[in-house]
Amino acid sequence: MRSAIFFCAFLHLLIFPQISGAKTWKVGSQFPNKSIQSAIDMSKDGDTILVASGTYHEKNITINKSVVVLGKGMPVLDGDGKYEIVSIKAWHVVFSGFKLQHTGYASLTDPAAIKIYNSNYVTVSDNVLDDTFFGIYAQYSKKSIIKNNKLTSFGKEEQQIGNGIHCWKSDSMQIIGNTITGHRDGIYFEFVTNSVIWRNHSVSNLRYGLHFMFSHDDAYVANVFSGNGAGVAVMFSHGVKMFYNTFSENWGDAAYGILLKEISDSYIEGNRFIKNTMGIFMEGANRVTLKRNTFHNNGWALKIFASCMDVTVSSNNFFGNTFDVGTNGTLVLNTFNGNYWDKYEGYDLNRDKIGDVPYRPISMYSVIIEKNPPAMILFRSIMVSLLDKTEKLIPSLTPENLKDETPSMKPLEL
């Protein structure tokens, strides 16, 4: 907590170096100011509001000045199940060190524990949010930071709960080191550009750990998305960079580690896909590079539809997946090369660590399952094994040109 206060004080100096005579307003039962809102109303741009520990029942605190609002001893702001708790309507605001709980619930107004309205250079950090409709909501915001917050809600149905961190029509946002659970979507981006999502844990949310639409030139780095209803969805976007994330334990009829729909010119590198129904599901993806990822113990490691083109799958590891690759057509306009496949049974006579015969990652049985799901009952039967081996020698149902010409003989060091 002390480090958080020092961090906020440093931000304060950076933001308001030109303001002399800035004042600190103390709020608490032992001070003349008993109300946070009254202290804000009396303050001026550049001032600091220091709030002592305790529980504050104030109806919709509105921060409409460029101030720093700090909690000391984790004061509690309670919305009593009726209100939006904090509304930020000014630039250059720092809000840190509070526990916010029990927002109102309303699908028309979308109340949040903390909502940023048309404001830039806002920092929201080191807060604990408990039992909220929306957690932290930013609209029309630029160059703002949402960092090291813990958001927990208890939604039972998607229609009755909002998102943990929700950004709409914003730019250059930084979403860093947050933990989100129990919301509809852990992190939601729509029309958000040039932003970064880094080191977050989005776990056990009802729908998606990350839901991302119409947002371009963003980066997702070193996040964990685990146990969410359907995994992660990235749709209708270009210039997406996803590096060193973990997608795990997303199980269900329509669940996946990550869904890529109608995206282009994007990079997916260094990620881990572990124990998902599908590691990656791709539809309408163009000019996408999948490189140096690990697919381990998934149902389908990679399902890539015929609507995808110019997708390059190279230098990835495939271990213990029921099916390595699935598709819904015979037209293949994508490239596979240099991957390690644990099911590869080829040889390496010249010992260059590259298989001498191509590997065909699509089994005939996976094609049959795609068209007739009940056939899964025959999985691991002798008949299926014989059919698959025959298909690899004389391809008939599987796409003949979907193959890795240079399979690695040993797992790649990623």
Regarding predicted confidence, which is higher, 121 or 397? 121
In one-letter notation, the amino acid at residue 328 is: N
Please state the rounded mean pLDDT for residues 75-101: 97
Domain annotation covers residue 257: yes
Domain annotation covers residue 374: no
pLDDT digits (tens, 9 = 90+) for 93-145: 999 999 999 999 988 889 999 999 999 999 999 999 999 999 999 999 999 99
**What CATH number is attached to the domain comprising 15?**
2.160.20.10
Pick the last residue of a domain from 181, 205, 229: 229
Which tokens sit at 255?
A: 């669940």
Verify that 268 and 134 share a domain, yes or no: no
Domain annotation covers residue 384: no
Q: Using CA atoms, how far apart are residues 225 and 258, in angstroms rounded to an integer?
A: 9
Domain annotation covers residue 373: no
Domain annotation covers residue 379: no
Domain annotation covers residue 375: no
Beta bridge pairs of residue 325: 302
Verify that 199 and 272 share a domain, yes or no: no
Verify that 73 and 190 share a domain, yes or no: yes
Among 144-148, 188-192, 222-226, 306-310, which stretch is predicted with the lowest mean pLDDT?
A: 306-310
Pick the last residue of a domain from 229, 246, 277: 229
Domain that holds residue 61: 1-229
Verify that 217 and 239 share a domain, yes or no: no
Examine the pLDDT at 15 and tell me if it is beyond 60.
no
Domain annotation covers residue 383: no
Domain annotation covers residue 281: yes
Please state the rounded mean pLDDT for residues 171-190: 98
| 345: CB partners within 8 A, 6+ apart | none
* Contact present, 53 and 77 (Cβ < 8 Å): no
Number of separate domains in the chain = 2
Pick the last residue of a domain from 182, 213, 229: 229
pLDDT of residue 5: 47
Verify that 342 and 215 share a domain, yes or no: no
Q: Using CA atoms, how far apart are residues 10 and 4, in angstroms rounded to an integer?
A: 10
Verify that 248 and 201 share a domain, yes or no: no
pLDDT of residue 254: 81
Rg (the chain; Cα; Å): 25
Cβ burial, residue 159 (10 Å; 0-12/13-18/19+): exposed
Verify that 224 and 297 share a domain, yes or no: no
* Contact present, 398 and 368 (Cβ < 8 Å): no
Q: Using CA atoms, how far apart are residues 330 and 286, in angstroms rounded to an integer?
A: 17
Verify that 79 and 165 share a domain, yes or no: yes
Residue linked to tokens 């609002």: 69
Verify that 100 and 203 share a domain, yes or no: yes
Is the pTM of the predicted complex or chain greater than 0.85? yes
Question: Helix axis angle, 382-393 relative to 364-371, nearest 10°?
Answer: 110
Regarding predicted confidence, which is higher, 3 or 100? 100
Verify that 155 and 22 share a domain, yes or no: yes
Confidence of residue 18 (pLDDT cuts 50, 70, 90): very low
Beta bridge pairs of residue 174: 145, 196
Examine the pLDDT at 239 and tell me if it is beyond 80.
yes
Verify that 262 and 151 share a domain, yes or no: no
Confidence of residue 391 (pLDDT cuts 50, 70, 90): low
Distances (CA, A) of 220 to 101, 134, 182, 234, 285: 28, 22, 21, 11, 18
SS3 track for the chain: CHHHHHHHHHHHHHHCCCCCCCCEEEECCCCCECCHHHHHHHCCCCCEEEECCCEECCCCEEECCCCEEEECCCCEEECCCCCCCEEECCCCCEEECCEEECCCCCCCCCCEEEEEECCCCCEEECCEEECCCEEEEEECCECCEEECCEEECCCCCHHHCCCCEEEEEEECCEEECCEEECCCCCEEEEEEECCEEECCEEECCCCEEEEEECCCCCEEECCEEECCCCEEEEEEEECCEEECCEEECCCCCCCCCEEEEEEEEEEEECCEEECCCEEEEEECCEEEEEECCEEECCCEEEEECCCCECCEEECCEEECCCEEEECCCCCCCCEEECCEECCCCCCCCCCCCECCCCECCCCHHHHHHHHCHHHHHHCCCHHHHHHHHHHHHCCCCCCCCCCECCCECCCCCC
pLDDT of residue 378: 57
> If phi over 0 gives left and psi between -120 and 50 gives alpha, with beta otherwise, what is residue 312?
beta
Confidence of residue 155 (pLDDT cuts 50, 70, 90): confident
pLDDT digits (tens, 9 = 90+) for 31-47: 999 999 999 999 999 99
First-last CA distance in the chain: 36
Examine the pLDDT at 365 and tell me if it is beyond 80.
no
Verify that 111 and 161 share a domain, yes or no: yes
pLDDT digits (tens, 9 = 90+) for 268-324: 999 999 999 999 999 999 999 999 999 999 999 999 998 999 999 999 999 999 889
